[in-house]
Amino acid sequence: TVCSSTCYRAETDTGRETWGLYRVHHFNKVEMFGVTADETGEESSQLLEEFVSLQKEMFSALELHYRVLDMPTQELGPPAYRKYDIEAWMPGRNSYGEISSASNCTDYQSRRLNILYEREDGSLQYAHTVNATACAIPRMIISILETHQTKDGSVHVPQVLQPYLGLEVIEKPKYTPLKYIGPNQHSRPPRPGSNTR
């Protein structure tokens, strides 16, 4: 199952990355979710590998420089039995940044949600769940724009996106864009003084 969801991140007030698109409070993403049986113990592991394969296919088609990290146990949250993070190179950060993850939660979520299936012998068994991010919109925008931007400021559109945008290159703006002034700005300009007459 694939769905688009609106997400809210509470930890934006930790002081890390308080400006820009990388860590925003409100964002949209496309999530993949799968439910498997638990007969051999391998069904959910195979689905996790399938999800990671789909992620690699998407990010390769977008011509991104990425790496897949098999996360160690101390990096796993309570639901995850196994987790992969995918990071793309982001030149503006001069480092890799996480753009996606995929987790095999085995029966953790199904026990909490009471997701059961009936076996051939009539007994009930908790299903296994697997989830993976197909596209976290803000971070994907960063990855695509920064990876494909040229020295003159234009951006080469990845071939797979050209039919949707109807162009091969996003030209550098010929005007000065307005500057953002808001709470998530890392260096706020001084406020105007009051007008006295």
Task: Check if 53 is active-site.
Answer: no
Q: Are 143 and 61 in contact (CB under 8 A)?
A: no
Tell me how far CA of residue 12 lies from CA of 18, 23, 27, 141, 193, in angstroms: 7, 7, 12, 19, 30
Asked whether the beta carbons of 109 and 79 are under 8 A apart, the reply is yes
Residue 42 identity: E
Single out the catalytic residue among 100, 103, 139, 143: 139
143: which residues sit within 8 A by CB, 6+ positions away? Answer: 62, 64, 88, 89, 90, 97, 99
Q: Would you call 101 a catalytic residue per the annotation?
A: yes
Q: Catalytic residue at 9?
A: yes
Cα 64 from Cα 140, distance rounded (Å): 10
119 is catalytic: no
Q: Could you say which of 44, 100, 101, 143 is catalytic?
A: 101
Of 5, 9, 42, 112, the active-site residue reads 9
Tokens of 165: 């945008």
Which residue in the list 63, 98, 146, 154 is annotated as catalytic?
Answer: 98
Catalytic residue among 23, 82, 100, 103: 23
Task: Return the bridge partners of 87, or none.
Answer: 67, 98
Active-site positions read: 9, 23, 98, 101, 139
